[in-house]
Amino acid sequence: MAELNLVQKRKQKSIFTMLALFAIFTLVFYITSSKTEPITFGFILGDEFKLISEWSVSSRVGSGIFMLLALFGIGLSYLGFKSEKSTTLGSVIFGLGSIMSFLCWAAAGKFIPFTGLLQAALLLAVPLIFGSMSGLLCEKSGVINIAIEGQLLFSAFISAIVASLTQNLMWGLLSAPIAGALVSLILAYFAINFKVDQVIIGFVINVLVLGLTNFFYSTLLVPYDSTWNAAGSFSNIPIPILSKIPIIGPVLFNQTIIVYIMYAIVTLIQVALFKSRWGLRTRAIGELPIAADSVGIDVNKLRFRNVMLAGLVSGLGGAVFTIGAVGIFSQSMTAGAGFIALACLVFGKWSPRGALVAALFFGFANSLQSNLSISGVALPSELMLMIPYIATIIAVSGLVGRVRAPAADGIPYSRGNK
């Protein structure tokens, strides 16, 4: 066999890692498991067509079945490795199989509303998806966006206030992208016009937004909550017929308007980035800006525009926290979602589709965690809270393989003496 290069070696290593994890999981969840209580998955959420309403399986058998799925994922990765193609799909299947197997083991004797789990997963993923699209728009054009967290938090804050004062959710929804763009304006102005270190300015923005929102929260939103912090939230709009599809129908097509906007935006970005003139130019200025400049493209103008666009997108993500879910603003409620969105961007190899999958994966891990604590699984809740983060670390570090950021990411552009 020919000598392996480093990428192949890394893939080989990740396959061995998966095999090792597989062995451990199988040992714990299946071989040594004495749990025979059945775990029951519920599949019915509302009035969708019934395909299957419940599935009950003994904990140990369920674990075994899903470990087989994980093994299948490893096999797929190996085939990908052999034919020198991607091993990512296999890794994702392995991850899902392992998580489900863990679920069967941990939730023995419990009822798991599976469709509800998925619905919550999507809902948790939506702000991450908006956030990573914001990061994508910036980084594809060469500006690092650490300020996603700030954009999300500020727009969550503003949309809640606007919706409360006007008692109109639509005004709240409109104000959110504007708030996101305002935060972007600071980033764009300092990073592009003054060429300040992009990571530092991004970080400063996050701290600034946190301080601002905390201040107004305690001085305005708490004392006058009935006028300033009573936004309410969008209700779900089921899409006729589509929402009746078993299992995925209620998950995907019985959502709020913001989720439908998300579908449209991700599709639009995916197509525009790789097919349109704007996309070609955007990718060009993120890779080799001087080349774009030499054919007459105004690099800094396009970068500025894209950073502003990114602000609009993450603004919508911010709205999800308040008017898209709980209806009120609470202190630092984004809780690091902006940083997870950034991780999703890297995990998804700077592609809209990849970031989407990564965000959904994270959303699933998160929803699983909350679901397990609600059903009273006997594991310390602190440990449970760590699951999504551990899953993300494993995913980002080992299984994605080498990813390549846009070559000019984070490097301010200036030409000669200008």
What would the DSSP string read from start to end of 213-233? HHHHIIIIITTTHHHHS----
Stretch binding another protein (CB under 8 A), from 184-192, 278-286, 299-307, 330-338: 278-286
301 part of the interface to another protein, by CB under 8 A: no
| CB-nearer residue toward another protein: 11 or 60 | 11
Q: Which of 48, 139, 293, 409 binds another protein (CB under 8 A)?
A: 293
Q: Which of 296, 376, 380, 382 binds another protein (CB under 8 A)?
A: 296
267 part of the interface to another protein, by CB under 8 A: no
Q: DSSP assignment, residue 51?
A: S
| CB-nearer residue toward another protein: 1 or 295 | 295
Total residues binding another protein (CB under 8 A) = 34
| One character per residue 386-415, x = contact with another protein (rule: CB under 8 A) | ----------------x-x--x-------x
Task: Output the smallest distance, CB 293 to another protein, in A.
Answer: 6
1 part of the interface to another protein, by CB under 8 A: no
Q: Please, what is the Cα angle at 46 between 44 and 50, to 5 degrees? A: 50
Q: Which of 248, 291, 374, 383 binds another protein (CB under 8 A)?
A: 291
Task: Output the smallest distance, CB 282 to another protein, in A.
Answer: 11
What would the DSSP string read from start to end of 151-196? HHHHHHHHHHHHHHHHT-HHHHHHHHHHHHHHHHHHHHIIIIIS--
| One character per residue 349-388, x = contact with another protein (rule: CB under 8 A) | ----------------------------------------
Chain length of the chain = 418
Cα torsion angle, 268, 271, 277, 280, sign: positive
Q: Which of 1, 6, 264, 378 binds another protein (CB under 8 A)?
A: 6
7 part of the interface to another protein, by CB under 8 A: yes
CA distances 183 to 157, 199, 415, Å, are 12, 15, 27
Q: Which of 53, 56, 227, 276 binds another protein (CB under 8 A)?
A: 276
Q: DSSP assignment, residue 49?
A: P
Q: Rounded CA gap, 141 and 257, in Å?
A: 29
β-bridge partners, 38: 58
Q: Which of 277, 378, 380, 382 binds another protein (CB under 8 A)?
A: 277
Is 322:156 a contact under the CB 8 Å cutoff?
A: yes
State the burial class of residue 207 (Cβ atoms within 10 Å of its Cβ: 0-12, 13-18, 19+): exposed
Task: Output the smallest distance, CB 235 to another protein, in A.
Answer: 34
Task: Output the smallest distance, CB 281 to another protein, in A.
Answer: 7
417 part of the interface to another protein, by CB under 8 A: yes
Q: Which of 245, 257, 288, 405 binds another protein (CB under 8 A)?
A: 288
Q: Which of 182, 297, 394, 405 binds another protein (CB under 8 A)?
A: 297
Task: Output the smallest distance, CB 141 to another protein, in A.
Answer: 13
Is 326:159 a contact under the CB 8 Å cutoff?
A: no
Structure tokens at 340: 């997870």
Is 149:337 a contact under the CB 8 Å cutoff?
A: yes
Stretch binding another protein (CB under 8 A), from 51-59, 148-156, 257-265, 275-283: 275-283
339 part of the interface to another protein, by CB under 8 A: no
β-bridge partners, 39: 57
Q: How far apart are the first and last CA of the chain?
A: 54
| CB-nearer residue toward another protein: 50 or 275 | 275
State the burial class of residue 418 (Cβ atoms within 10 Å of its Cβ: 0-12, 13-18, 19+): exposed
Task: Output the smallest distance, CB 284 to another protein, in A.
Answer: 5
Q: Rounded CA gap, 347 and 5, in Å?
A: 22
Stretch binding another protein (CB under 8 A), from 52-60, 198-206, 286-294, 343-351: 286-294
**3-class state of residue 205 by DSSP:** helix
23 part of the interface to another protein, by CB under 8 A: no
Amino acid identity of residue 29, one-letter, is F
Amino acid identity of residue 18, one-letter, is M
| CB-nearer residue toward another protein: 142 or 388 | 142
Stretch binding another protein (CB under 8 A), from 76-84, 172-180, 272-280, 303-311: 272-280
**CA torsion, ordered 218, 222, 227, 233, to nearest 10 deg:** 100
Which residue ranges make up the site for another protein (CB under 8 A)? 3, 5-10, 271-272, 275-278, 280-281, 283-284, 287-288, 290-297, 402, 404, 407, 415-418
